[in-house]
Chain A
Amino acid sequence: MVTRLRRFSTDPVAKTIAFILTVLILTGLAELFLYICFRNLDPQCIPVDGYFDSTEFVDLMGKAAAEASDALFSDELPGNVPYYYYISDGNKELTNVENPDKSFFEQFEPAFCALENGQWHLKSKSSFPYSSRYTFKLSVSEVLKKSNTIYIAYPKEYIKSLEQEWNQDRTVVIRLVTVAAAGAALAVILAIYLAAVTGRRPEDMELHPGRTDSVYSDILIAVLCFLALAWYLLYLAAYDLGANDTGTLTASHKLTLIVFGAITLPAAALCEAILLALIRKIKAGTLIKHSLIYKFLYRIYDYAVSLFDGRAFSKYPLTRSLFYRQLIFIILSFVFVFLTFVFMLAESLAVIIPPVLEAIIIYWYIKGNNRTYMDINRGFNESLEEQMKSERMKVALITNVSHDLKTPLTSIVSYIDLLSKEEGLPEPARDYVRILGEKAGRLSNMVSDLFDLAKSTSGNMPVDTEKLDLRKLIEQTLADMNDRIENSGLSFRVKLPEKSMQIYADGKKLYRVFQNVIDNALKYSLQGTRVYISLEETEGMAVATVKNTAGYEMDFTAEEILQRFTRGDKSRTSEGSGLGLSIAESFTRLCGGRFRVDIDGDLFKVTVSFNLAQQ
């Protein structure tokens, strides 16, 4: 039951409906208030029992009484008043009835008021509920002379129509206020409901932030305040626009109501959305933390704290003392300068004390800094030495492993040779020795390749860079490998430029690069295909390419082929260490060039490029 209620209450549809309802009710209430104002309706009439207890009635009587009081001095009344009157100051008499007898006026009770013996009477009470508007006129002592007498009464028909009108208005007000109260109550309930379920979802118990929640709290609050203020000013403007005494609705009133509603509706929606966002933040406990002001202040606070708890210097421990020393130096210097001025103004002899202290501080500051710089230098040298040491150890490791592998290999190769020269060996044994010899040879090639690679990739290979002609180097390499190329059954298409291509590189290493690349083409090309070798200048670079058609399916990527020990054919049966291209890549980089492998179907392409030397 509880879970079902929860599921329903947190349902997005229910929440959306509640939200829309709240907005509509709020807008309606605002419209209602404006309407009541425009109609000149006074909600104060609700607790009043009848028209004769209402302020309207008192006002009516008061207005008439004030006019009559004026007549005591001006001796005349406005011609056409809706009431009967009798005004006398003891000598003169003013009246609009034929028989100005008190009993005549009394018959119109309670719409009757009188001034007798310096005392006002209304509704047979000796007090007059003065309205502030008439107090002055009714209460001056000239009026309250005992000789003055005033009787005022409204005709019954006239009062009746007013009473009817008042009653009608009261009914309307009661109805409107009831509706407003109900609406407000509903709005409050809905608002409480929304505040309770906002951020919750039926599927879990977690708090889900809305989209607006990423906006900082203080920005939300600022927008909310601005909206509320703007809306209130609009309300005041609309109120002034419609203020009149007639109590009837004109066309301009209706237009104002429509415009006001049209503006209030989105404003209310926005305000409510912001409020809900703020509530979600309160629920998540991030209202304050997720605000610009908090972030800003926290940043400052955090920085200040970090200066003193050592965090700011955790990466630069050596500069920590520098910072503190600087801080103390600046503050003390400031204090001393200030004190110097004070003493100078006081014309005191103590004026020499601060400069002396300042000199001491400067000495302390410079001395301390020098010590810190020395520490820094020492630390730097130590780390440099440490690095050099590990570098040396790396070289030593490679050399030692190399020695340990080569020594037994030397014995193997030598004894195989001795064995092969041994006479009287049976034919199968001779075969075995031959195989051993081949494999030992391959092993020693691999060991040598491996150490070349290890050295070049670890940066422990000396590079002897000189200016050389890349075109010439490729020609030499091709000529050097001429026998193998001619016996390969492949045709080489070599396209080299007429002019020389001067680059800076290590000739021996670059020869290994092209030797290995061409060697790769010789080993893995399809029989009878062509190998294309070209060299050209592109954008200030000397770009050499070697393209061949693979004799097998290349199911690997360009990156894989360059990785150590990856071999074109995964079966790893053919000769070679599988390091040729890796060495070529590493050596090219060592010489400052770029090495790139592209595989496109059966096309295998190696691109070696170098920056051309400045002429």
Chain B
Amino acid sequence: MPAGYARVDNARILVVDDDREIAMAIEKLLAREGYEVIKAYDGMQALEALAGNQVHLILLDIMMPKLDGLSATMKIRESRNIPIIIISAKSEDSDKILGLSMGADDYVTKPFNPQELVARVKSQLRRYMHLGDIANGPKSASVLRTGGLCLDTEAKQLTVDGEPVKLTAKEYKILELLMSNPGVVFSAEQIYEAVWKEVPYSVENTVMVHIRRIREKIEINPKEPKYLKVVWGIGYKIEKI
């Protein structure tokens, strides 16, 4: 483990929200998981807190006085690459895309599920902490990467944010097909033909069931998948991240 990086369990997290009750609630939620929390109530305070403290992850609201979350994200990204999770009441797809393109790593909408928030924080921290491992790991063409997903096609091993995940043979093959072509939409027939090697005949349900199982293994919230997406009326794809 590289020097200067704290262990996942006692990482320091900066919570930024102009609503003090929410900031406090998040502090308690995270403290319960053993994290150290620093609070800030606007973008300027967040930048100050960041300057004076070693921080491993930032939870950032968008609509704040003085300096809003998006501008703060851009400012932070100028010098730091620590994980930033945006927590916002803005729930439009366009807002999410904007937030992520500004440099945020994840986007959680209010009102959030506390357990999901904690899971996302853990996931981001793991990825951040293990980044060194991953970066130093085998860089061969046999490793497929998408965001926190890492599929080693030689070892036939999938890790999500560094955590190994067990897949069945079919699930593995589906994921391999999709991850080899990130952003490409495959129909159920194409997936079936490639994975089952049989003539596809009314296979939507079969494929969909597998997709759902994979999602439950790799997504924090399977209902709002980040990686494995259904393109309704067309097929399935792995998001290109």
Contact = CB atoms under 8 A, between A and B. Distances in A.
Interface of A: 399, 402-403, 406-407, 409-415, 417-418, 421, 440, 444, 448, 451, 462, 466, 468-470, 472-473, 475-480, 482, 503, 505, 507-508, 510-511
B133 interface: no
B26 A510 contact: no
A440 B29 CA distance: 18
A204 B17 CA distance: 80
- Chain B interface size, under 10 / 10 to 19 / 20 to 34 / 35 or more: 20 to 34
B110 interface: yes
A418 B234 contact: no
A405 to B, nearest CB: 8
B25 A415 contact: yes
The interface residues of chain A, by DSSP majority, are classed as helix
Given A413-B113, A478-B205, A418 B25 contact: yes
Given A462-B94, A476-B208, A413 B232 contact: no
Contact of A511 (B26, B32, B205, B232): B232
B232 A476 contact: yes
Given A414-B29, A475-B205, A479-B204, A444 B111 contact: yes
Given A406-B110, A407-B110, A472 B233 contact: yes
Given A403-B63, A403-B90, A472-B204, A418 B29 contact: yes
Q: Among the interface residues A403, A407, A503, A510, which one has the most CB atoms of the partner chain B within 10 A?
A: A407
Given A406-B110, A470-B233, A476-B233, A414 B208 contact: no
Nearest to A451: B91
B121 to A, nearest CB: 14
Q: Among the interface residues B28, B212, B233, which one has the most CB atoms of the partner chain A within 10 A?
A: B233
A472 B234 contact: yes
15 contacts: A402-B89, A407-B22, A410-B112, A411-B19, A413-B113, A414-B29, A421-B32, A470-B233, A472-B187, A472-B234, A473-B233, A475-B188, A476-B208, A478-B205, A479-B209
Given A406-B89, A480-B212, A505 B29 contact: no
Contact of A473 (B32, B91, B232): B232
Contacts of B207: 479
Given A469-B234, A480-B230, A413 B111 contact: yes
A503 B234 CA distance: 11
A467 B233 CA distance: 8
Given A410-B112, A472-B204, A482 B233 contact: no
Contacts of B34: none
A411 B204 contact: no
Nearest to A507: B232
A444 to B, nearest CB: 5
Interface string B187-226: 1100000000000000011011100100000000000000
